[in-house]
């Protein structure tokens, strides 16, 4: 069973994403409300992937991703950024970070697991 960590400061986004991934894909979902908390959960739980919001207070998603890349315990975990920023310049900036992919808000809860699987090349 896949284990996904959702890092987002918005309670409703975490809840909708978690419920849809559990119900539709049958995945085990972990959540964190900040980048710092997400790094702790990732190190402790070693999820198969992380879906992380770009815009968060204190430490944003791209900065958190950079910090994760410096930690050998979690640097191998693929990260998908979740963002409402759909402009080309933002997309290029995110792609240049080295993340596994970028998904856009608002997302469709019914297809979120499929989008994650396709982004990561998962066949199951």
pTM: 0.94
Low-confidence stretches of the chain (pLDDT beneath 50): none
Sign of CA dihedral 37, 43, 47, 48: positive
Name residue, tokens 């739980």.
45
pLDDT value of position 50: 98
* Superfamily (CATH H level) for 3-118: Response regulator (3.40.50.2300)
pLDDT value of position 48: 98
Domain ranges in the chain are 3-118
> In 1-124, which ranges are continuous DSSP H helix?
11-20, 35-45, 61-69, 88-97, 112-120
Q: How far is CA 116 from the centre of its chain?
A: 9
pLDDT value of position 89: 65
């Amino acid at each position: 069973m896949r284990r996904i960590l959702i890092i987002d400061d918005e309670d409703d986004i975490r809840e909708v994403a978690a419920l849809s991934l559990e119900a539709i894909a049958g995945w085990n979902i972990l959540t964190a409300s900040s980048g710092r908390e997400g790094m702790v959960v990732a190190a402790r739980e070693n999820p198969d992937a992380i879906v992380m919001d770009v815009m968060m207070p204190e430490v944003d998603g791209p900065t958190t991703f950079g910090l994760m890349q410096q930690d050998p315990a979690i640097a191998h975990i693929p990260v998908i950024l979740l963002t409402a920023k759909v402009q080309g310049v933002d997309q290029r900036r995110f792609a240049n970070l080295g993340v596994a992919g970028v998904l856009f808000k608002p997302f469709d809860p019914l297809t979120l697991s499929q989008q994650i699987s396709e982004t990561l090349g998962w066949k199951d």
